[in-house]
Structure 1
Amino acid sequence: MLESVNGKPVTSDKNPPEISFGEKMMISGSMCNRFSGEGKLSNGELTAKGLAMTRMMCANPQLNELDNTISEMLKEGAQVDLTANQLTLATAKQTLTYKLADLMN
Protein backbone atom coordinates (compact mmCIF):
# COMPACT_ATOMS: atom_id res chain seq x y z
CA MET A 1 0.00 0.00 0.00
CA LEU A 2 1.37 3.43 -0.96
CA GLU A 3 2.32 5.25 2.22
CA SER A 4 4.00 8.43 1.00
CA VAL A 5 5.09 10.43 -2.04
CA ASN A 6 8.25 12.48 -1.61
CA GLY A 7 7.87 12.06 2.16
CA LYS A 8 4.28 13.35 2.25
CA PRO A 9 1.49 10.98 3.37
CA VAL A 10 -0.93 9.74 0.72
CA THR A 11 -4.63 10.25 1.30
CA SER A 12 -7.05 7.88 -0.36
CA ASP A 13 -10.70 7.08 -0.17
CA LYS A 14 -11.70 3.44 0.10
CA ASN A 15 -9.12 1.88 -2.28
CA PRO A 16 -5.56 2.72 -1.26
CA PRO A 17 -2.93 2.85 -4.02
CA GLU A 18 -0.93 -0.38 -4.15
CA ILE A 19 1.59 -2.39 -6.14
CA SER A 20 2.24 -6.13 -6.31
CA PHE A 21 4.64 -8.46 -8.06
CA GLY A 22 3.94 -11.88 -9.51
CA GLU A 23 5.69 -14.60 -11.44
CA LYS A 24 8.10 -13.54 -14.18
CA MET A 25 8.24 -10.03 -12.64
CA MET A 26 4.65 -9.22 -13.54
CA ILE A 27 3.80 -5.89 -11.92
CA SER A 28 0.23 -4.88 -11.15
CA GLY A 29 -1.39 -2.30 -8.98
CA SER A 30 -3.46 0.84 -8.84
CA MET A 31 -3.27 4.52 -8.14
CA CYS A 32 -6.48 5.99 -9.57
CA ASN A 33 -6.39 3.47 -12.44
CA ARG A 34 -5.24 -0.16 -12.54
CA PHE A 35 -1.91 -0.88 -14.22
CA SER A 36 0.03 -3.99 -15.18
CA GLY A 37 3.05 -5.01 -17.17
CA GLU A 38 6.16 -7.16 -17.23
CA GLY A 39 8.92 -5.64 -15.16
CA LYS A 40 12.67 -5.98 -15.38
CA LEU A 41 15.03 -5.59 -12.44
CA SER A 42 18.64 -4.84 -13.33
CA ASN A 43 21.33 -3.40 -11.04
CA GLY A 44 18.70 -2.30 -8.52
CA GLU A 45 16.60 -0.49 -11.14
CA LEU A 46 13.02 -1.52 -11.93
CA THR A 47 11.54 -0.82 -15.37
CA ALA A 48 8.31 -1.83 -17.11
CA LYS A 49 8.38 -0.59 -20.70
CA GLY A 50 4.98 -1.84 -21.89
CA LEU A 51 2.80 -0.80 -18.97
CA ALA A 52 -0.94 -1.13 -19.63
CA MET A 53 -3.27 1.18 -17.70
CA THR A 54 -6.99 1.88 -17.57
CA ARG A 55 -7.86 5.53 -18.24
CA MET A 56 -10.57 7.06 -16.08
CA MET A 57 -10.63 10.25 -14.05
CA CYS A 58 -10.85 10.02 -10.27
CA ALA A 59 -12.37 12.53 -7.88
CA ASN A 60 -9.08 12.61 -5.95
CA PRO A 61 -6.61 14.80 -7.95
CA GLN A 62 -3.63 13.32 -6.08
CA LEU A 63 -4.48 9.85 -7.41
CA ASN A 64 -4.85 11.19 -10.97
CA GLU A 65 -1.34 12.68 -10.72
CA LEU A 66 0.02 9.44 -9.26
CA ASP A 67 -1.11 7.58 -12.39
CA ASN A 68 1.31 9.73 -14.39
CA THR A 69 4.02 9.39 -11.74
CA ILE A 70 4.06 5.57 -11.60
CA SER A 71 3.84 5.29 -15.38
CA GLU A 72 6.79 7.64 -15.89
CA MET A 73 8.85 6.04 -13.11
CA LEU A 74 8.46 2.53 -14.48
CA LYS A 75 9.08 3.64 -18.06
CA GLU A 76 12.29 5.53 -17.21
CA GLY A 77 13.43 3.22 -14.41
CA ALA A 78 13.25 3.55 -10.63
CA GLN A 79 15.84 2.59 -8.05
CA VAL A 80 14.51 -0.06 -5.67
CA ASP A 81 15.11 -0.23 -1.92
CA LEU A 82 13.45 -3.19 -0.21
CA THR A 83 13.29 -3.98 3.49
CA ALA A 84 11.13 -6.48 5.38
CA ASN A 85 8.07 -4.20 5.45
CA GLN A 86 8.81 -1.38 3.01
CA LEU A 87 9.43 -0.87 -0.71
CA THR A 88 10.81 2.42 -1.98
CA LEU A 89 10.86 3.34 -5.68
CA ALA A 90 12.91 6.44 -6.43
CA THR A 91 14.02 8.59 -9.36
CA ALA A 92 15.74 11.97 -9.37
CA LYS A 93 12.26 13.60 -9.34
CA GLN A 94 10.03 11.33 -7.24
CA THR A 95 10.08 8.88 -4.33
CA LEU A 96 7.22 6.47 -3.67
CA THR A 97 7.24 4.55 -0.39
CA TYR A 98 5.02 1.49 -0.02
CA LYS A 99 4.38 -0.43 3.19
CA LEU A 100 3.58 -4.12 3.36
CA ALA A 101 -0.17 -4.61 3.74
CA ASP A 102 -2.60 -7.50 3.69
CA LEU A 103 -5.00 -6.39 0.95
CA MET A 104 -7.29 -9.37 1.52
CA ASN A 105 -8.45 -8.18 4.96
Structure 2
Amino acid sequence: MDSRKTYRPHGQRLTELREANGLKPKDLAARVSLDVRTINDYEDGESTDRFQYNQLRAIADFFSVPMEYLVEEVAEDAISQPVQRATHCRKGKKSSRASHPAAMGI
Protein backbone atom coordinates (compact mmCIF):
# COMPACT_ATOMS: atom_id res chain seq x y z
CA MET A 1 0.00 0.00 0.00
CA ASP A 2 1.16 3.50 -0.77
CA SER A 3 2.54 5.27 2.30
CA ARG A 4 2.14 8.83 0.97
CA LYS A 5 1.65 11.49 3.59
CA THR A 6 -0.98 14.16 3.74
CA TYR A 7 -1.36 17.02 6.16
CA ARG A 8 -4.38 18.47 7.87
CA PRO A 9 -4.78 21.34 10.29
CA HIS A 10 -4.67 20.46 13.96
CA GLY A 11 -7.60 22.56 15.20
CA GLN A 12 -7.25 21.71 18.89
CA ARG A 13 -3.79 23.24 19.00
CA LEU A 14 -5.06 26.48 17.51
CA THR A 15 -7.91 26.58 20.02
CA GLU A 16 -5.45 26.08 22.89
CA LEU A 17 -3.14 28.82 21.62
CA ARG A 18 -5.99 31.24 21.07
CA GLU A 19 -7.55 30.64 24.49
CA ALA A 20 -4.18 30.78 26.27
CA ASN A 21 -3.77 34.26 24.82
CA GLY A 22 -7.25 35.34 25.89
CA LEU A 23 -8.54 35.76 22.35
CA LYS A 24 -11.94 35.04 20.88
CA PRO A 25 -12.09 33.66 17.33
CA LYS A 26 -13.15 37.07 16.00
CA ASP A 27 -10.17 38.74 17.74
CA LEU A 28 -7.69 36.31 16.19
CA ALA A 29 -9.34 36.63 12.79
CA ALA A 30 -8.95 40.40 12.88
CA ARG A 31 -5.31 40.21 13.95
CA VAL A 32 -4.30 37.81 11.18
CA SER A 33 -6.60 39.29 8.51
CA LEU A 34 -8.78 36.21 8.08
CA ASP A 35 -12.52 35.70 8.19
CA VAL A 36 -13.81 34.46 11.55
CA ARG A 37 -15.45 31.52 9.71
CA THR A 38 -12.00 30.44 8.58
CA ILE A 39 -10.76 30.38 12.19
CA ASN A 40 -13.87 28.51 13.35
CA ASP A 41 -13.60 25.98 10.51
CA TYR A 42 -9.93 25.43 11.29
CA GLU A 43 -10.63 24.84 14.98
CA ASP A 44 -13.59 22.55 14.26
CA GLY A 45 -11.68 20.54 11.66
CA GLU A 46 -14.16 21.44 8.95
CA SER A 47 -13.32 22.29 5.36
CA THR A 48 -9.65 21.67 5.98
CA ASP A 49 -8.94 21.37 2.27
CA ARG A 50 -9.55 25.11 1.89
CA PHE A 51 -6.70 26.26 4.11
CA GLN A 52 -3.83 27.81 2.30
CA TYR A 53 -0.19 28.02 3.20
CA ASN A 54 -0.31 31.78 3.72
CA GLN A 55 -3.23 31.44 6.16
CA LEU A 56 -1.40 28.89 8.28
CA ARG A 57 1.79 30.95 8.08
CA ALA A 58 -0.03 34.07 9.32
CA ILE A 59 -1.46 32.20 12.31
CA ALA A 60 1.87 30.53 13.14
CA ASP A 61 3.73 33.84 12.90
CA PHE A 62 1.17 35.58 15.11
CA PHE A 63 1.64 32.99 17.88
CA SER A 64 5.41 32.63 17.25
CA VAL A 65 5.15 28.88 16.74
CA PRO A 66 6.49 26.72 13.91
CA MET A 67 3.89 26.20 11.21
CA GLU A 68 4.32 22.45 11.68
CA TYR A 69 2.79 22.83 15.15
CA LEU A 70 -0.52 23.74 13.53
CA VAL A 71 -0.70 20.73 11.22
CA GLU A 72 -0.55 17.01 11.74
CA GLU A 73 0.88 14.50 9.34
CA VAL A 74 -1.46 11.70 8.37
CA ALA A 75 -0.39 8.55 6.56
CA GLU A 76 -2.59 7.97 3.53
CA ASP A 77 -3.09 4.33 4.53
CA ALA A 78 -4.31 5.44 7.98
CA ILE A 79 -7.10 7.30 6.22
CA SER A 80 -8.09 4.48 3.88
CA GLN A 81 -7.90 1.55 6.35
CA PRO A 82 -11.13 2.38 8.25
CA VAL A 83 -12.96 2.68 4.92
CA GLN A 84 -11.62 -0.68 3.79
CA ARG A 85 -12.68 -2.31 7.08
CA ALA A 86 -16.17 -0.82 6.83
CA THR A 87 -16.51 -2.12 3.28
CA HIS A 88 -15.27 -5.54 4.40
CA CYS A 89 -17.83 -5.65 7.24
CA ARG A 90 -20.69 -4.66 4.95
CA LYS A 91 -19.99 -7.67 2.77
CA GLY A 92 -21.03 -9.87 5.70
CA LYS A 93 -17.57 -10.65 7.00
CA LYS A 94 -16.87 -9.97 10.64
CA SER A 95 -13.74 -8.11 11.55
CA SER A 96 -11.66 -9.28 14.45
CA ARG A 97 -11.58 -7.29 17.68
CA ALA A 98 -7.95 -6.39 16.98
CA SER A 99 -8.90 -4.62 13.77
CA HIS A 100 -11.75 -2.67 15.38
CA PRO A 101 -11.01 1.09 15.23
CA ALA A 102 -11.34 1.45 19.03
CA ALA A 103 -8.82 -1.33 19.59
CA MET A 104 -6.43 0.42 17.23
CA GLY A 105 -6.77 3.76 19.00
CA ILE A 106 -8.69 5.35 16.16
The bucket for the TM-score relative to the shorter chain is under 0.3
Structure possessing the higher radius of gyration over alpha carbons: 2
Answer 1 or 2: higher relative contact order, Cα 8 Å, separation at least 6: 2
TM-score, length basis structure 2:
0.25
Structure with higher strand content: 1
TM-score, length basis structure 1:
0.26
